[in-house]
Amino acid sequence: SGQEFLWEIMARKFCVGGNWKMNGCKKSIKEICEHLKGASLDPNTEVVIGCPAVYLEYTRGLLPPSIHVAAENCYKVAKGAFTGEISPAMIKDCGCNWVILGHSERRNVFKECDELVAEKVEHAQENGLTVIACIGELLQEREAGKTEEVVCRQTQAIASKVKDWDKIVLAYEPVWAIGTGKTATPEQA
Protein backbone atom coordinates (compact mmCIF):
# COMPACT_ATOMS: atom_id res chain seq x y z
CA SER A 1 0.00 0.00 0.00
CA GLY A 2 0.99 3.65 -0.22
CA GLN A 3 1.55 3.83 3.54
CA GLU A 4 4.01 0.91 3.44
CA PHE A 5 5.82 2.52 0.51
CA LEU A 6 6.13 5.80 2.41
CA TRP A 7 7.39 3.98 5.51
CA GLU A 8 10.08 2.19 3.47
CA ILE A 9 11.33 5.48 2.05
CA MET A 10 11.34 7.09 5.50
CA ALA A 11 13.18 4.11 7.03
CA ARG A 12 16.28 4.64 4.86
CA LYS A 13 19.51 5.53 6.61
CA PHE A 14 20.48 9.19 6.56
CA CYS A 15 22.94 9.76 3.71
CA VAL A 16 25.68 12.38 3.51
CA GLY A 17 27.65 12.82 0.33
CA GLY A 18 30.41 14.94 -1.09
CA ASN A 19 31.16 15.28 -4.79
CA TRP A 20 34.64 16.29 -5.89
CA LYS A 21 33.53 17.05 -9.47
CA MET A 22 36.54 17.53 -11.79
CA ASN A 23 38.91 18.28 -8.92
CA GLY A 24 41.62 16.54 -6.98
CA CYS A 25 44.90 14.77 -7.44
CA LYS A 26 46.31 11.72 -5.68
CA LYS A 27 47.99 13.88 -3.04
CA SER A 28 44.84 15.81 -2.12
CA ILE A 29 42.67 12.67 -2.30
CA LYS A 30 45.01 10.87 0.09
CA GLU A 31 44.82 13.78 2.54
CA ILE A 32 41.01 13.85 2.43
CA CYS A 33 40.79 10.08 2.85
CA GLU A 34 43.18 10.12 5.82
CA HIS A 35 41.01 12.80 7.44
CA LEU A 36 37.84 10.75 6.81
CA LYS A 37 39.41 7.57 8.19
CA GLY A 38 40.28 9.40 11.40
CA ALA A 39 36.87 11.02 11.78
CA SER A 40 34.18 9.83 14.15
CA LEU A 41 31.38 8.87 11.76
CA ASP A 42 27.85 7.89 12.81
CA PRO A 43 27.34 4.20 11.91
CA ASN A 44 23.68 4.98 11.18
CA THR A 45 24.67 7.42 8.42
CA GLU A 46 25.77 6.39 4.95
CA VAL A 47 28.78 8.43 3.86
CA VAL A 48 29.38 8.63 0.11
CA ILE A 49 32.26 10.29 -1.72
CA GLY A 50 31.81 11.08 -5.43
CA CYS A 51 35.10 11.26 -7.27
CA PRO A 52 36.34 11.48 -10.87
CA ALA A 53 36.38 8.16 -12.71
CA VAL A 54 40.17 8.09 -13.01
CA TYR A 55 40.45 8.10 -9.20
CA LEU A 56 37.70 5.59 -8.32
CA GLU A 57 39.95 2.61 -7.64
CA TYR A 58 42.60 4.72 -5.90
CA THR A 59 40.03 6.33 -3.60
CA ARG A 60 38.26 3.04 -2.88
CA GLY A 61 41.60 1.55 -1.83
CA LEU A 62 42.22 4.32 0.70
CA LEU A 63 38.88 4.16 2.51
CA PRO A 64 37.22 1.58 4.76
CA PRO A 65 34.15 -0.23 3.36
CA SER A 66 31.93 1.86 5.65
CA ILE A 67 32.62 4.90 3.45
CA HIS A 68 31.16 4.45 -0.03
CA VAL A 69 32.80 5.72 -3.21
CA ALA A 70 30.58 6.82 -6.10
CA ALA A 71 31.31 7.44 -9.74
CA GLU A 72 30.05 10.81 -10.94
CA ASN A 73 28.35 9.38 -14.02
CA CYS A 74 27.79 6.22 -16.05
CA TYR A 75 26.13 5.45 -19.35
CA LYS A 76 22.87 3.67 -20.15
CA VAL A 77 24.39 0.69 -21.96
CA ALA A 78 26.95 -1.96 -21.00
CA LYS A 79 29.59 -1.31 -23.67
CA GLY A 80 30.21 0.02 -27.13
CA ALA A 81 31.53 2.98 -29.10
CA PHE A 82 30.78 5.67 -26.50
CA THR A 83 34.08 7.51 -26.13
CA GLY A 84 34.60 8.96 -22.67
CA GLU A 85 31.70 7.12 -21.04
CA ILE A 86 31.95 4.43 -18.36
CA SER A 87 29.64 1.53 -17.58
CA PRO A 88 28.29 0.22 -14.28
CA ALA A 89 30.49 -2.87 -14.75
CA MET A 90 33.59 -0.66 -14.98
CA ILE A 91 32.58 1.14 -11.79
CA LYS A 92 32.09 -2.17 -9.99
CA ASP A 93 35.42 -3.42 -11.37
CA CYS A 94 37.03 -0.53 -9.47
CA GLY A 95 35.41 -1.78 -6.26
CA CYS A 96 32.67 0.85 -6.16
CA ASN A 97 28.91 0.29 -5.92
CA TRP A 98 27.49 3.82 -6.11
CA VAL A 99 26.96 6.36 -8.90
CA ILE A 100 25.68 9.94 -9.09
CA LEU A 101 23.25 10.50 -11.98
CA GLY A 102 21.30 13.53 -13.15
CA HIS A 103 23.60 16.07 -11.53
CA SER A 104 22.74 19.65 -12.49
CA GLU A 105 26.02 20.01 -14.38
CA ARG A 106 25.30 16.88 -16.43
CA ARG A 107 21.79 18.20 -17.15
CA ASN A 108 22.79 21.78 -17.96
CA VAL A 109 26.36 21.69 -19.30
CA PHE A 110 26.05 18.37 -21.13
CA LYS A 111 22.33 18.78 -21.96
CA GLU A 112 21.22 15.47 -20.42
CA CYS A 113 17.42 15.27 -20.55
CA ASP A 114 15.11 13.64 -18.00
CA GLU A 115 14.64 10.59 -20.24
CA LEU A 116 18.39 9.95 -20.54
CA VAL A 117 18.87 10.36 -16.79
CA ALA A 118 16.04 7.87 -16.17
CA GLU A 119 17.58 5.37 -18.61
CA LYS A 120 20.94 5.71 -16.84
CA VAL A 121 19.26 5.14 -13.47
CA GLU A 122 17.55 2.02 -14.79
CA HIS A 123 20.74 0.56 -16.29
CA ALA A 124 22.80 1.36 -13.19
CA GLN A 125 20.29 -0.37 -10.92
CA GLU A 126 19.97 -3.37 -13.24
CA ASN A 127 23.73 -3.76 -12.86
CA GLY A 128 23.83 -3.57 -9.08
CA LEU A 129 24.72 0.04 -8.39
CA THR A 130 23.12 2.24 -5.76
CA VAL A 131 22.14 5.52 -7.41
CA ILE A 132 22.19 9.06 -6.11
CA ALA A 133 19.63 10.63 -8.47
CA CYS A 134 19.84 14.41 -8.52
CA ILE A 135 16.89 16.74 -9.03
CA GLY A 136 16.56 20.52 -8.82
CA GLU A 137 15.49 23.65 -10.62
CA LEU A 138 17.49 26.49 -12.13
CA LEU A 139 17.16 30.12 -11.00
CA GLN A 140 15.05 31.11 -14.02
CA GLU A 141 12.74 28.15 -13.41
CA ARG A 142 12.38 29.11 -9.76
CA GLU A 143 11.71 32.77 -10.58
CA ALA A 144 9.09 31.69 -13.15
CA GLY A 145 7.27 29.76 -10.41
CA LYS A 146 8.09 26.39 -11.99
CA THR A 147 9.90 24.74 -9.07
CA GLU A 148 7.25 22.12 -8.37
CA GLU A 149 6.70 21.41 -12.08
CA VAL A 150 10.41 20.89 -12.78
CA VAL A 151 11.17 18.82 -9.69
CA CYS A 152 8.05 16.66 -10.20
CA ARG A 153 8.91 16.09 -13.86
CA GLN A 154 12.47 15.05 -13.02
CA THR A 155 11.32 12.82 -10.16
CA GLN A 156 8.58 11.15 -12.22
CA ALA A 157 11.02 10.32 -15.02
CA ILE A 158 13.40 8.69 -12.56
CA ALA A 159 10.64 6.95 -10.56
CA SER A 160 9.27 5.34 -13.72
CA LYS A 161 12.53 3.39 -14.09
CA VAL A 162 13.39 2.57 -10.46
CA LYS A 163 13.27 -1.15 -9.75
CA ASP A 164 14.67 -1.13 -6.19
CA TRP A 165 13.85 1.80 -3.91
CA ASP A 166 16.41 0.54 -1.38
CA LYS A 167 19.13 1.27 -3.94
CA ILE A 168 18.34 4.90 -4.69
CA VAL A 169 18.80 8.22 -2.94
CA LEU A 170 17.02 11.29 -4.32
CA ALA A 171 19.21 14.35 -3.85
CA TYR A 172 17.57 17.76 -4.19
CA GLU A 173 20.05 20.40 -5.29
CA PRO A 174 18.76 23.99 -5.26
CA VAL A 175 20.71 24.85 -8.42
CA TRP A 176 19.36 28.41 -8.22
CA ALA A 177 21.25 28.95 -4.96
CA ILE A 178 24.69 27.98 -6.30
CA GLY A 179 26.96 30.98 -6.84
CA THR A 180 24.04 33.44 -6.69
CA GLY A 181 24.39 34.58 -3.10
CA LYS A 182 20.86 33.27 -2.48
CA THR A 183 20.39 30.50 0.05
CA ALA A 184 17.75 27.83 0.37
CA THR A 185 15.85 27.64 3.64
CA PRO A 186 15.13 24.21 5.14
CA GLU A 187 11.53 24.61 3.97
CA GLN A 188 12.67 25.24 0.39
CA ALA A 189 15.05 22.30 0.39
Give the residue numbers marked as catalytic. Answer: 103, 173
> CA 50 to CA 32: how far, in whole Å?
12
> Minimal CA–CA distance to 17: which of 95, 134, 128?
134
Contacts of residue 136, defined as CB under 8 A and 6 or more positions apart, other chains included, come to 104, 150, 151, 154, 172, 173, 174, 175, 176
> CA 45 to CA 183: how far, in whole Å?
25
Lateral strand order in the sheet of 130-135: 14-19, 45-51, 67-71, 98-101, 130-135, 168-172
